[in-house]
């Protein structure tokens, strides 16, 4: 049996060898196919993973865009809600304004009817006065008309007198508009004032800015309560030395920038001085700016003088009050004026005697007689306090008090209160 099997193998050795070769080839081919399939599978897997990563990135961007869109939607909804609320509030205000308008129309109509009644009564009184031949009534009406006319012509008078003074004096400040551009409370105009016994090189009247609509004249620098001669907030540097020291530095900067024509620097410094930004009360800022005006002119000429005049409207002469603890002088030195020529507003007094000084003795109380001079003296002491606190200022500031006026005719028919102080800057000196 073994011999047969051996013989059989020998006979079929070539066949079996061929089968082995074929089998080997088959295994090689199958292995190659498997390797190729494996490589293709890996490449497909890598491509799929790459596409998956790209899809995840796109998904993240889409999610961020979605979140942003949701936030924008919420903001839009919030804005719509706010607009709806504002619209509702506007509707409510419109309704309120309409109601107020109707009420005002009703009041106007009632006032019109009362005015017609008053006109009728006035006509009756006029006929009555005419029948009685009352010259006094006509004179009072004429005085009111003239006083009102003076108020209407003030602006025209300022422009005309300023131009006239510019032609008369060669010593006027070269660029008055530049100086006025930085002032917050006041402005200056050249003014032809004559002082007997003085050589006046130039004169500038000080006026209020933005006085339209106020119950004061444009020439009223500082207003007072009816019976008062002090302000709610004075400016005594002995009480606030650090504040005055800073103010002196600012005044020096203002003078320097004014001389150098540095508009921006000048306006910024004057804004700090003339407004409450510097830490001053409103009336203190007015006094500080008034002192600064004196310093600015004094930096150009040592012959700078500030003249102040107080006013009271004399509505009630039967009163007296105790002097204020803040300012209680025992006497006031002032320049006496010719009352026949200078009973009117300050700006109408073009001539006065520069050597006729008088003393007003002040006791423990004051009345309407002392009130105008007390007001001017109070402002003078406040301004002097600021100027004298500056280390770079030499000598004494030349500030004079002009005889004040207490006369109810000032406010008659004007609707204005003449409880004030007015002022003018004089460049000049007494003739020796």
Mean pLDDT over residues 323-349, rounded?
71
- Phi/psi for 202 (5° steps) reads -165, 155
Look at 50-59, 243-252, 321-330, 406-415 and tell me which has the smallest mean pLDDT.
406-415
Is it the case that residue 415 has pLDDT exceeding 50? no
Least confident of 55-64, 97-106, 370-379: 97-106
Q: Examine the pLDDT at 44 and tell me if it is beyond 90.
A: no
269 or 90: whose pLDDT is higher? 269
Q: Which helix (H) or strand (E) holds 35?
A: helix 13-132
- pLDDT tens-place string over residues 64-102: 877 777 777 787 677 677 767 766 776 676 677 667 756
Q: For the chain, what percent of residues have pLDDT higher than 90?
A: 9
Bigger pLDDT: 409 vs 10: 10
What is the pLDDT at residue 170? 42
Confidence category of residue 356, pLDDT binned at 50, 70, 90: confident
Q: What percent of the chain has pLDDT over 70?
A: 68
DSSP state of 324: P
- In angstroms, rounded to a whole number, what is the distance separating the alpha carbons of residues 353 and 335? 7
Query: What was the pLDDT predicted at 70?
Result: 78
| Residue of 107 and 251 predicted with greater confidence | 251
CB-based burial label for 21 (10 Å; 0-12, 13-18, 19+): exposed
Buried residues in 263-299 as b, exposed as e (16+ CB within 10 A): eebbbebbebbbeeebebeebbbbbbbbbbbbbbbbb
Q: 210 or 377: whose pLDDT is higher?
A: 377
Q: What is the mean pLDDT of the chain?
A: 76
Q: How many residues does the chain have?
A: 432
The pLDDT of residue 33 is above 70: yes
Q: The dihedral of CA 61, 66, 69, 70: what is its sign?
A: negative
Closest CA to 403 of 331, 338, 350: 338
**Which residue, chain included where needed, has tokens 């004057």?**
270
Each domain of the chain, given as residue ranges in start order, spans: 1-133, 156-430
The dihedral over CA atoms of 249, 252, 254, 260, expressed in degrees to the nearest 10, equals: -140
Helix intervals (H) in 133-175: 135-152, 154-168
What sections of 175-305 are H helices per DSSP?
A: 176-182, 241-259, 263-274, 282-298
> What token pair was written down for 279?
């830490």
> pLDDT tens, 154-213?
555 555 544 544 444 444 455 788 888 888 889 998 877 777 778 888 888 898 886 554
CB-side exposure of 274: number of CA atoms within 13 Å?
21
Cα–Cα dist 372/401, whole Å: 10
Output DSSP code: residue 277.
Answer: G
């Amino acid at each position: 049996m073994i011999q047969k099997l051996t013989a059989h193998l020998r006979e079929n050795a070539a066949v079996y060898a061929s089968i082995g070769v074929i089998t080997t080839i088959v295994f090689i081919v199958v292995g190659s196919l498997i390797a190729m399939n494996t490589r293709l599978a890996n490449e497909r897997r890598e491509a799929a993973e790459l596409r998956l990563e790209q899809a995840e990135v796109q998904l993240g961007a889409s999610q961020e865009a979605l979140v942003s869109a949701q936030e924008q939607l919420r903001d839009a909804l919030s804005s719509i809600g706010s607009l709806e609320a504002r619209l509702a509030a506007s509707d409510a205000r419109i309704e309120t304004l309409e109601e107020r308008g109707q009420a005002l129309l009703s009041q106007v109509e009632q006032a019109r009817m009362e005015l017609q009644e008053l006109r009728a009564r006035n006509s009756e009184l006029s006929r009555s006065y005419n029948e009685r031949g009352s010259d006094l009534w006509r004179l009072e009406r004429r005085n009111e008309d003239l006083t009102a006319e003076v108020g209407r012509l003030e602006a025209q008078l300022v422009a005309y007198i300023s131009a006239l003074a510019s032609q008369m004096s060669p010593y006027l400040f070269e660029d008055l508009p530049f100086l006025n551009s930085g002032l917050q409370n006041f402005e200056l105009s050249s003014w032809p004032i004559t002082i007997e016994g003085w050589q006046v090189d130039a004169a500038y009247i000080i006026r209020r800015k933005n006085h339209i609509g106020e119950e004061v004249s444009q020439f009223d620098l500082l207003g007072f309560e009816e019976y008062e001669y002090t302000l709610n907030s004075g400016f005594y540097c002995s009480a606030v030395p650090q504040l005055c020291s800073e103010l002196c530095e600012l005044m020096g900067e203002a003078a320097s920038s004014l001389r150098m024509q540095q508009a921006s620097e000048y306006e910024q410094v004057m804004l700090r001085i003339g407004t409450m930004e510097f830490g001053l009360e409103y009336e203190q800022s007015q006094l500080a700016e008034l002192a600064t005006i004196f310093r600015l002119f004094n930096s150009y000429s040592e012959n700078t003088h500030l003249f102040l005049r107080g006013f009271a409207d004399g509505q009630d002469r039967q009163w007296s009050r105790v002097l204020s603890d803040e300012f209680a002088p025992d006497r006031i030195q002032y320049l006496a004026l010719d009352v026949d020529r200078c009973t009117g507003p300050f700006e109408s007094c073009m001539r006065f005697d520069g050597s006729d000084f008088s003393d007003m003795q002040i006791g423990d109380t004051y009345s309407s007689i002392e009130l105008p001079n007390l007001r001017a003296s109070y402002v003078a002491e406040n301004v002097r306090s600021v100027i004298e606190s500056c280390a770079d200022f030499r000598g004494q500031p030349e500030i004079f008090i002009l005889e004040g006026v207490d006369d109810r005719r000032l406010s008659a028919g004007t609707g204005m209160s003449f409880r004030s102080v007015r002022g003018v800057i004089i460049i000049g000196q007494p003739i020796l």
